[in-house]
Structure 1
């Protein structure tokens, strides 16, 4: 099982839209049968089996084995990932967005950084939730206004000059690895 999977298929998103399927995926973090999941969730076995099959059909769950339960052989299923993150690109199928991302490298990079940040946050949340780990993290967000493009360019120049030495000063090759994300983008117009 992957620790995280990015969902980029509309069928998988539709399957995840059903609240019971989300509960089933949570129960399938460890291999289990539809009958055992049904007992855990207090739902009918047939109902849960149907939803497990739908999750399997769209690639969110997979058959991982079988076990004997009396005279029956039960199929065991497991979620394909511990955590799923829905890609925002899934909704960006129109030509203007696709062309804008292809033409503006910095904007494409900002989108990619946002996706990686979303995935990292989801993984860290899992470590806190399931492993009981205390996560050392920080987020800083600020608003700054520029009178014109020249002032914005000067800010970016100084910004990069200030960050480089700071990263070098505190970057110990022997220490724990941390991801530092610094982003500058226009504020959403209201």
Structure 2
């Protein structure tokens, strides 16, 4: 039994299906700290057999793991915990379009942005899990800002200028044989402020 991962990628349809029901999501959230079927049944006010069934299904998919077994009045109480603090769903499992399907889209297409973001979620989650298992830090960086455009045409001019600037910086730092990094720049309309601030 190893250390609990911070995030785990759900990239297999059956594993995702096993985790999706509301009760199983509650069980996974509760089992961030170890617990038994009897404990969960009492907390959720459900029959222990029902909770036990769901725990066995989650354990079979590797979503929960055995922490310890305790002798209790003629039976063995199994204490389990979730194998991750949070689970990330690979968008391709939900019928997303793969990278090849969107390669021909222009960089202003929302579908292209979604595909690139999905790939980033998938790749970074996998690498973070591997880094945690190796007890090393995954070196990443994130740049985020907001810009206000006066007219729709400014978006295209801004994108061209930004691409040219990034191209210059990449050319200055790109080293043959060096460790490759994938750089992603994206933009989308900022969500409306639910409080109406700034209007």
Please tell me the TM-score bracket, short chain as reference.
0.5 to 0.7
Structure 1 position 80, deviation (Å): 1.0
> Residues 45, 5 of structure 1: CA spacing in aligned structure 2 closer, same or farther, 3 A cutoff?
same
Task: Tell me how far apart the structure 2 counterparts of residues 98 and 154 of structure 1 sit (CA, whole Å).
Answer: 25
CA offset at residue 160 of structure 1? 6.5
Other structure's SS at 1:77 match: strand
Equivalent residue runs for 1:104-119 within 5 Å: 110-115=117-122
Contact kept in structure 2, 1:146 and 1:152, CA below 8 Å = no
Partners of 2:27 and 2:92 in 1: CA distance? 26
The residue aligned with 2:9 is 6
1:18-72 Cα distance to aligned partner (Å, 9 max, x none)? 1111111112112221111111211110110011111112221122320122332
Residues 81-133 of structure 1: CA deviation (Å, up to 9, x unaligned):
11111111213476xx34236789x967654335578x6xxxxxxxxxxxxxx
Question: Number of aligned pairs?
Answer: 151
Partner of 1:176: none
Unmatched runs of 5 consecutive residues or more in structure 1: 120-136, 163-180
Q: 1:158 aligns with which of 131, 151, 165?
A: 165
Alignment-derived partner of residue 39 in structure 1: 42
CA contact (8 A) 2:66 2:78 kept: yes
Unaligned runs of 5+ in 2: 126-141, 170-182, 190-199
Q: How high is the TM-score relative to the length of structure 1? A: 0.60
2:145 to 131, 140, 145: 140
Structure 1 residue aligned with 2:185: 183
Q: What is the Cα deviation at residue 151 of structure 1?
A: 6.8
Name 2:93's counterpart in structure 1. Answer: 90
From 16, 21, 37, give the equivalent of 2:19.
Answer: 16
- The 3 A distance-change label for structure 1 pair 71 and 110 is closer
- Work out the CA distance in 2 between the residues paired with 1:140 and 1:116: 23
Whose helix fraction is larger, Structure 1's or Structure 2's? 1
Aligned twin of 1:174: none
1:57 lines up with 2:64 in the alignment: no
Q: CA deviation at 1:78?
A: 1.3
